[in-house]
Structure 1
Amino acid sequence: MTNQIFESEHQINYYECDANQQLTISMLVNIMMQVSGEQSYVLGVGDEELAKEGLAWIVLQYAVDIKQIPKAHQTIKITTQASSYNKLFCYREFKVYDEAGTLCVTAKSTFALLDSEKRKMVRIHDEIVEPFQAPFSKKLIRTPKPEKIKEDEVVENEYRVRYLDIDSNLHVNNSKYLDWAIDTLDYDFLTTHTLTHLNIKFEKEVYYGNQIKSQMSLFQNEAGQLVSAHRIKTGDVINSEASMTWEKKEELNR
């Protein structure tokens, strides 16, 4: 058997874009998750079927490489496939192409199965993943951790979790973490720099009404790349950590 590859097209709407008319990273993640959800539905193991068993998928980590960010009104093609799974985790890959067929974005993600009532991870059910035709492997795929915040250079914003921040799993939607993270960077930076890599790891759920802190520090890493490191906290609990690699726009156009 070969892995089931699923593809879908999406026309980018202006409201999915930022002031530069570029697709936002949070909307990119939402679109990829929509496509993976469509595949699950087509294969008969969509969210509604899992909910009948008291289960839901949760994302633990994304690693995203961006060669070119799609823009408003473009029609993109998204492909996805479940690449492998083990007793606790499922691994899924995404690719995004522009209208000319040029590869713009590649992403790898790690999923786990959640007991919706106990709010705990459970072992992967073979009958749920079998339709995807992904191979079982005992090997754990360890995506590198996001780079850490520089504690003496932290910028911080605070937010209260609103009703519209949560999704059907009754916790904050993954894309909201990205909005909170991006919001710590100022307008001048965001209009003159382009995101080329994202690594985000989700640790603890955030719920309606929680007061969160979005923290960030900006620095050059050992490879000389410009990096923003991010952390989402509720009280002393770290809910998510991320790092983003940026390039100035004129450097990308050389």
Structure 2
Amino acid sequence: MDIVNSYQEDYRIRLNEAGPGGRLRLHALFDYLQDIASQHATALGIGLPVLMERQLTWVLSRVAFRMDEYPLYGDTVRVSTYTRGFERLFALRQFELHSLQTGRRLGVASSNWLLLRSDKLRPVAPATAFPALADIDEQRPVFFPKLDKLPDCATAGHEQEHRIGQFQIDWNMHVNNSYYAVYARDWLAARLGRPVRLVDMQINFNAALVFGDTMRCLGEADEQQFRVDGVAADGRNVFQAAGHFVVAEDAAAG
């Protein structure tokens, strides 16, 4: 099998993807990453058409990103991706974002994905399901080598509640992961009482929410770092997020 372990796509930032100051919105950044991951998976023969036939599904388990610069409305962003093979139950995927206007690298991301059975949502070893992809020889970097479990917040507080509406529900009938990134950022902005720009963040997705569920966000922050947990009404930890930020007086990333 001839494996093409590179994929890229150009995304022009549309008006609805730009926030205050004209900068790329956080949820749109996540949309780009999800979209190109899906396209590359399909090109590799492990995308939605194949998964549906085999009653399997990919779910994002952990992701970390760092953005040196958020591009502007009308800019075109070239997003490239490649896999780094499988590690136990995880499939590893990397991303790079470049500006076609300046040629500069805007940011990078690393992600871990789980392969689940659609009916029982039990994990399947991806190397067993797709053995032809188990020995990919890829030497390009892993930008965040250790996407480990995150510790519980030591002094969590400042609760913010969300009720899940139809708009947040995706293909898999649960809240799309891009919204958890926004929930974490919005908790931080509310905690500080002013807009923020995320420099980097890791999110671990621990449980799924569906239409009508409620979730409390709580956490802790200092002048540069933050930690946020999302907790469902039944006590499940839905997501954990941690990262660094700067105050953005013009809300430079919406």
Fold shared, TM-score > 0.5 on shorter chain: yes
1:74 deviates by 0.5
1:199 to 191, 196, 202: 202
Contact map agreement 2:86 2:134 (CA 8 A) in 1 = no
1:189 to 185, 194, 198: 194
Aligned to 2:74: 73
Distance 1:171 1:8, change over 3 A: same
Distance 1:216 1:71, change over 3 A: farther
1:34 deviates by 0.2
The one of the two structures with greater contact order (alpha-carbon pairs below 8 A, sep at least 6) is 2
Aligned to 1:238: 237
Aligned to 1:109: 111
Aligned to 1:223: none
Q: Per-residue CA shift, 1:79-98, capped at 9, x if unaligned? A: 00011213411100000001
Contact map agreement 1:85 1:135 (CA 8 A) in 2 = no
Aligned to 1:11: 12
1:81-100 correspondence to structure 2 within 5 Å? 81-99=82-100, 100=102
CA distance in 2, matches of 1:129, 1:155: 47
Contact map agreement 2:169 2:211 (CA 8 A) in 1 = yes
Contact map agreement 2:215 2:232 (CA 8 A) in 1 = yes
Distance 1:204 1:247, change over 3 A: same
CA distance in 1, matches of 2:164, 2:202: 23
- The alignment of Structure 1 onto Structure 2 pairs a total of residues equal to 238
SS in 2 for 1:96: strand
CA distance in 1, matches of 2:85, 2:29: 23
Contact map agreement 2:27 2:178 (CA 8 A) in 1 = yes
CA distance in 2, matches of 1:132, 1:13: 37
Contact map agreement 2:85 2:134 (CA 8 A) in 1 = no
Q: Is residue 164 of structure 2 the alignment partner of residue 161 of structure 1?
A: yes
1:237 deviates by 1.1
CA distance in 1, matches of 2:131, 2:166: 32
Aligned to 1:62: 63
Q: Per-residue CA shift, 1:19-62, capped at 9, x if unaligned? A: 12211222111111101111122333321220111101011111
1:63 deviates by 1.1
What amino acid sits opposite 1:57 in the alignment?
Answer: W
Q: Is residue 143 of structure 2 the alignment partner of residue 143 of structure 1?
A: no
Contact map agreement 2:23 2:73 (CA 8 A) in 1 = yes
SS in 1 for 2:52: helix
1:163 deviates by 1.9
Q: Structure 1 stretches of 5 or more lacking a match? A: 221-225
1:66 deviates by 1.2
SS in 1 for 2:21: coil
Q: Structure 2 stretches of 5 or more lacking a match? A: 139-144, 250-254
1:215 to 213, 218, 221: 218
CA distance in 2, matches of 1:204, 1:176: 14
Contact map agreement 1:147 1:242 (CA 8 A) in 2 = no
CA distance in 2, matches of 1:67, 1:129: 37
Normalised by the size of structure 2, how large is the TM-score?
A: 0.84
1:3 deviates by 6.4
Contact map agreement 1:62 1:199 (CA 8 A) in 2 = yes
What amino acid sits opposite 2:48 in the alignment?
Answer: D
Q: Is residue 225 of structure 2 the alignment partner of residue 227 of structure 1?
A: yes
1:144 deviates by 3.9
Distance 1:106 1:156, change over 3 A: same
What amino acid sits opposite 2:244 in the alignment?
Answer: T
Contact map agreement 1:2 1:133 (CA 8 A) in 2 = no
